[in-house]
A and B are shown apart, each in its own frame.
Chain A
């Protein structure tokens, strides 16, 4: 019997070829095992169990037609072939769409049933699939997905590689790296599932399950790959549907179901690898030789019985002699000034992937989490954006220019005011407060004032501005770590609330209230709960601080009522995390009220909401939150909400003009605009929707993803105001581009730079 085994890479993220060979050697001592590789840097070619090694040229050099003929010849000769290279298996599936009796890999139809991330065949199994979206969605939608999943998301390549994404900047960088490496935009984002990793490995031949085992990871490499594990039987409740799934999709070959079991015992299926796992010989050690079952099932030749030498396995590192016929190659020269030798994927798999794209496998990659296909969808902007832009005369405009979207702003403020009214109950009044720092533009302040908002100020200069804008002192909430800056402007009136940022400040304010130097109806604290990275508020992460806080709160003069403030940007921590924080704050407040004896009568909850997050089901969520408050804090009379970012962000845009359109290089081109990151300082934190006019200077439409980079006017390397956008082919120098969503910190934190 002759068995070809391909995929012998044996680094820290190994292919399973060596494990398969060890297992088959144990089962078939007399068989001829032929190792197949595409790089002499794959150290598995030196493994002793192989009787022969066939070393092909790397995939990027390989003549695929000739190689296909050779494989057909091998299979026709009666030899079996077990592949452990995902891409090779896909290619085989295209060569043999209906399979070949001696080719022990799945057919194209079967592969399509297990393509990640959708894995259609999962429906047969008692598992769930973590939510995912294709990165072909608009940046605006991708950012929303990340917020919805609290930035606990993975960016995954089409075949291999997954990187954890922590923020928008990191996402953009990694998308660029993976897209470039795999020559495709078809990546996907998938939500993280916390839990313990376990796998099922099985072998099947023509739809019949031959053997399977369950393996729990017990030690991991830095890449979360198995280093040690325990092996056990697949439980009946999984085994029966697994057998059914294999029959339905007519599977042939080895496979691995990679799963996570969460704290509630739910299994989440991350991937189905169409091959044995690299740890497969670990199962053989425990007496379950899964590769041998495959060969026996396909050939009818009985395998030697496996002998269990343990129920658990682990790995060690071995040094072995190099085969004299395959001497080691020299190390490549490090790139000039570079670090390391860059030896990843030595067999040219990246280039092979590029060649495979042209075969256009439909393996579920381009569907989104709802199962619908979506390809380069245009970003949708509110109709009011377009209405506002129609009213603006761009002909004599000096760009870059900030645009006030009047109707949009009015609409957002009106909706916020209506929502607070709708959420108010007989017991609890919900009031909006406008955070002046978000954008101190007079037009927005007037809208806030006219909409019944309170004013939230972080300095006495902002207090002065609020008073000048018509807010009464009893409508002003003072916040922040340096709220007494410009003390000489302190008004001789009573504030509505002062929230202290430290125990030291609380002590000082108590003293000043007692002496009559300060007047305020409410005196409160801003809290920083454990497990939150923030520089603001009183950190109650030690029992000592907590006790000191309680003692200080007890000393707040009786004439002041007590309140608590918490603020965390939901756009940064994620929507779910924000709501958890809210509930966490309620618990802390309940403890503070019970232990200090001071009633909490107002609660101020910020903020940093993305407009869509505040709009999306927020009414229902806020209603539930308000219903929850009396359970923890029965004395709260007023809730302050700070939707400043959600209201200001969509209310302004930045108009930029194209200065230069450079020549194309492999479809990519650079375009210089007269705007810059000085006008869009939040560029690195979230995407901005970009509009351009159609060829006739008429309607506005949003830019899709494409191969153009918009370079800012500044002589700064990082002044790139948009990457991967698609400008219309008719775009010309002088055309206007409108960057939306620039009305919050983009506006208030914009700076003067490069203007002489």
Chain B
């Protein structure tokens, strides 16, 4: 994830969890004030054409499958990598590479076009310092850690869909899979999650596996 608007990290308290990983008291603190990424619209035909192309292509790619199917084709079309924001529809669809925020915004637009109620999802995942160092080197000219990283933690975005009475499923468009609500702390593990959506009341709660998530609130998963 890369956001120009990101704010500097605050100092966090570090403790150890049951698996022996060092875990800040609020793993999401560095990204507390970040918003889910959006794709901007020029208010002109260029962006309208691009948006129509994405949603019509999605229907073709769906091949008659359920509208609740994850749009994995996005990752065949776009590599995962750095994007710069603001990014406009007419630019995004022509890129070869998009980051998790842009991919999540596209997935959200796709689910909306299919008539599937969906929400934007922000996540904190643990990888390893070896991984974050690799990403720092490949996304940057320098090896300095990027703002979406914090040691072995990373900020990530996805998209949730309504899957029943208050239940949701979380789609990770960068990975092309549904995030497991039983996710464990460890490499690739999900540590915290936050849901948001346009016009979503603040007092709404969701069930994700055994987790209860409140709109706009970061929730620790592990």
Contacts and interface: CB of A to CB of B under 8 A. Distances in A.
Contacts of B144: none
Contact of A230 (B49, B55, B59, B182): B182
Nearest to B67: A263
A531 B66 contact: no
B134 interface: no
B49 A547 contact: yes
A577 B63 contact: yes
Q: Is the interface of B mostly helix, strand, loop or mixed?
A: helix
A265 B163 CA distance: 9
B98 to A, nearest CB: 13
A541 B63 contact: no
A546 B52 CA distance: 10
B56 A591 contact: yes
B69 A263 contact: yes
Contact of A529 (B60, B64, B163, B182): B60
Given A529-B60, A531-B60, A543-B93, A595 B49 contact: yes
A470 interface: no
B52 A577 contact: no
Interface centre among B52, B62, B65, B66 (most CB of A within 10 A): B52
B57 interface: yes
A544 interface: yes
A12 interface: no
B61 interface: yes
A258 interface: no
Contacts of A584: 56, 59-60
Given A530-B60, A584-B59, A584-B60, A543 B65 contact: no
A623 to B, nearest CB: 20
Contacts of A591: 52-53, 56
Contacts of B59: 583-584, 587
A604 interface: no
B66 A262 contact: yes
A595 B48 contact: yes
Interface string A464-482: 0000000000000000000
A755 interface: no
B50 interface: yes
Given A263-B65, A263-B66, A263-B68, A543 B60 contact: no
A536 interface: no
Interface residues of A, number: 32
A287 to B, nearest CB: 16
A595 B46 CA distance: 10
Nearest to B57: A530
A594 interface: yes
Interface centre among B53, B61, B68, B182 (most CB of A within 10 A): B53
Interface centre among A540, A546, A550 (most CB of B within 10 A): A546
Given A529-B60, A587-B56, A588-B56, A546 B49 contact: yes
A580 interface: yes
A299 interface: no
B61 A531 contact: yes
B116 to A, nearest CB: 11
Contacts of A594: 52
Contacts of A543: 49-50, 53, 90, 93-94
Nearest to A594: B52
A523 B108 CA distance: 37
B210 to A, nearest CB: 11
A544 B94 CA distance: 8
A215 to B, nearest CB: 13
A135 B59 CA distance: 34
A566 B147 CA distance: 49
A264 interface: yes
4 interchain residue pairs of minimum CB distance: A580-B64, A263-B66, A591-B52, A263-B68
Interface of B: 45, 48-50, 52-53, 55-57, 59-66, 68-69, 73, 90, 93-94, 163-164, 182, 184
10 contacts: A194-B69, A263-B69, A529-B60, A530-B61, A541-B57, A546-B53, A577-B63, A584-B59, A595-B49, A595-B52
